[in-house]
Amino acid sequence: MQLKNNNQSVLQKIAPFIGLILIIVIITILNPGFLSVSNLMNVLRQVSINALIAFGMTFVILTGGIDLSVGATLALTGAVSAGMMASGMDPIFAMLLGLLLGAVLGAINGIIIAKGKVAPFIATLATMTIYRGLTLVYTDGRPISGLGDSLTFQMLGKGYFFGIPIPVVTMMVSFGILYFILKKTTFGRRVYAVGGNEEASILSGINSDRIKIYVYSLLGLLAALSALILTSRLNSAQPTAGEMFELDAIAAVVLGGTSLTGGRGWIVGTLIGALIIGVLNNGLNLIGVPSFFQQVVKGAVILLAVLLDRKKTT
């Protein structure tokens, strides 16, 4: 694969970008209002939550894994943070505890997968059910509200920074950091190595178990960050929050051209993949596609994008 000529891989990398432009052009023709600054900010804000999770999912998928429990992790960390805030705890402390909990829940996934040698799909399918169940136990199945009016917490989901929604700023800053980690650090290279050929990476002295635990923890942390943004935006924690988020995140990663078998892919593609999904969600509403049909269109676009990607790689 690596030996194939460079043109092909360049084409493969820009394919998602071309897809995004194409979708934007079609939607803009049907409703020019799409390109207004306020709508673009609106789209970016809607994308930010899925993008944050998808960035973490990129790391996991690069190691050849998958995580189905992120939606439930989001729900549980959001509920616990909200519960602590509602009971009067300092909101900043409650948010930090939420982030820590996210990382711990992720680490549990990583440990089960790395040390227990359980297939990631099965391990996280089980923890998804457990985390979702714990969320229902903790919340008693009801939304948690009355979170107080801490400015820091309110800003996280609803604030603006120089006119840019703060969730978008959070997304871009996280993107910058994660891009750097993946591209420029030893850890980043090891993530690719573990996913590319685990045996070889172990032989070359990489502690692949540790890498795996780290990437699942990172994803858990990002899911918790998304949970805080979502909780702030809705001013309440919903026990059903994050349902199907795992699939949106996986779709974003795959749309971005990252291989589900691991070792191949890039985080820029994931950002574009998340944008494609967000633009579709917003655009289909804007051009007034009936809601049942929207799901059909979304599924078809994902399928088409992946099929085109396949064509180019073979």
Partner 1 sequence: MKKMQLGFMLVAMMILAACSMEAPESSSEEESGDGGEASGDYTIGFSISTLNNPFFVTLNEGAEAKAEELGADLMVVDAQDNASKQASDIEDLIQQEVDLIMINPVDSEAVAAAVESANMANIPVITVDRSAAGGEVVSHIASDNIAGGEMAGEHLVSLVGDGAQVAELEGVSGSSAARERGEGFNNVAADSLDVVAKQTANFNRAEGLSVMENILQANPDVTGVFAHNDEMALGALEAIEASGKDITVVGFDATDDAVKAVEEGRLAGTIAQKPEMIGEMAIETAVQSLDGEEVEASIPVELELVQ
* Residue ranges in contact with partner 1 by CB under 8 A: 30-33, 36-39, 42, 45-46, 49, 143, 145, 151, 154-155, 158-163, 166, 230, 233-236, 238, 240-241, 243, 281-282, 285-288, 290-292
Residue 107 beta carbon to partner 1: minimum distance, rounded to whole angstroms: 26
Nearest to 187 by CA among 63, 69, 99, 68: 63
Instruction: Decide if 274 contacts 50 (C-beta within 8 A).
Output: yes
Under DSSP, is residue 275 helix (H, G, I), strand (E, B) or coil? Answer: helix
**In the complex, least distance from residue 169 CB atom to partner 1, rounded to whole angstroms:** 10
- Coil/strand/helix, residue 256: coil
Helix (H) or strand (E) holding 160: strand 160-161
Nearer to partner 1 (CB atom), residue 83 or residue 143: 143
Separation of alpha carbons 132 and 73, rounded Å: 8
User: How far apart are CB 116 and partner 1 at their closest, in Å?
Assistant: 33
* Closest separation in Å from C-beta 210 to partner 1: 34
Q: Least distance in Å: CB of 161 to partner 1? A: 5
Minimum separation from the CB atom of position 162 to partner 1 (A): 5
In order of 17, 19, 228, 282, the CA distances from 269 in angstroms are: 8, 11, 25, 20
Q: Which is nearer to partner 1, 197 or 281 (CB)?
A: 281
Closer by beta carbon to partner 1, 34 or else 59: 34
Choice between 112 and 249, CB closer to partner 1? 249
Q: State which residue, 165 or 265, has the beta carbon closest to partner 1.
A: 165
Enumerate residues 6+ apart whose C-beta is below 8 A from 167: 45, 48, 49, 156, 157, 229, 233
Exposure string over 147-166, b if 16+ CB within 10 A, otherwise e: beebeebbebbbbeeeeebb
Question: How many whole angstroms separate alpha carbon 246 and alpha carbon 249?
Answer: 5
Q: Which is nearer to partner 1, 205 or 288 (CB)?
A: 288
